[in-house]
């Protein structure tokens, strides 16, 4: 299976997907750790894809999204962004809205705690 086919299937078959360095239990870079930490703290059920395990996949996701960096977050098949964008969306409340509009379960209380801690 090609990397592109694998990526399409993954983002189609999972509501929330994080292409990252490492896993959600053991991130292998600070940016991946930050995004996985936000999603874990907010109680979001997400699929994690370790791009370090497959060089073709690592380059494939960059080509697929036309985005040069990892991590990359997808919600309902749509590319959301990387670490900086996810961080900004979390702090502004846009991530809450995105999850709510797409019927993705998350803890609003946890999201509010993140914003309070960063106010």
Give binding residues for [2Fe-2S] cluster as ranges: 29
Structural contact between residues 27 and 36, judged by C-beta atoms closer than 8 angstroms: yes
The closest alpha carbon to 49, from 37, 32, 66, belongs to 32
- Between CA 6 and CA 65 the distance in angstroms is 14
Q: How many residues does the chain have?
A: 119
Q: Which residues are annotated as a binding site?
A: 29
Phi, psi of 53 (to 5 degrees): -80, -10
- Between CA 119 and CA 116 the distance in angstroms is 5
């Amino acid at each position: 299976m090609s990397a592109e086919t694998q990526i399409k299937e993954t983002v189609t078959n999972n509501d929330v997907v994080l292409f990252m360095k490492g896993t959600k239990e053991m991130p292998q870079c600070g940016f991946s750790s930050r995004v996985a930490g936000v999603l874990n703290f907010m109680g979001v059920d997400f699929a994690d894809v370790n791009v370090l395990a497959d060089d073709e996949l690592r380059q494939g996701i960059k080509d697929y999204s036309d985005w040069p960096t990892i991590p990359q977050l997808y919600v309902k098949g749509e590319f959301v962004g990387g670490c900086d964008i996810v961080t900004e969306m979390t702090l502004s409340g846009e991530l809450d809205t995105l999850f709510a509009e797409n019927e993705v379960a998350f803890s609003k209380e946890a999201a509010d705690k993140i914003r309070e801690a960063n106010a």
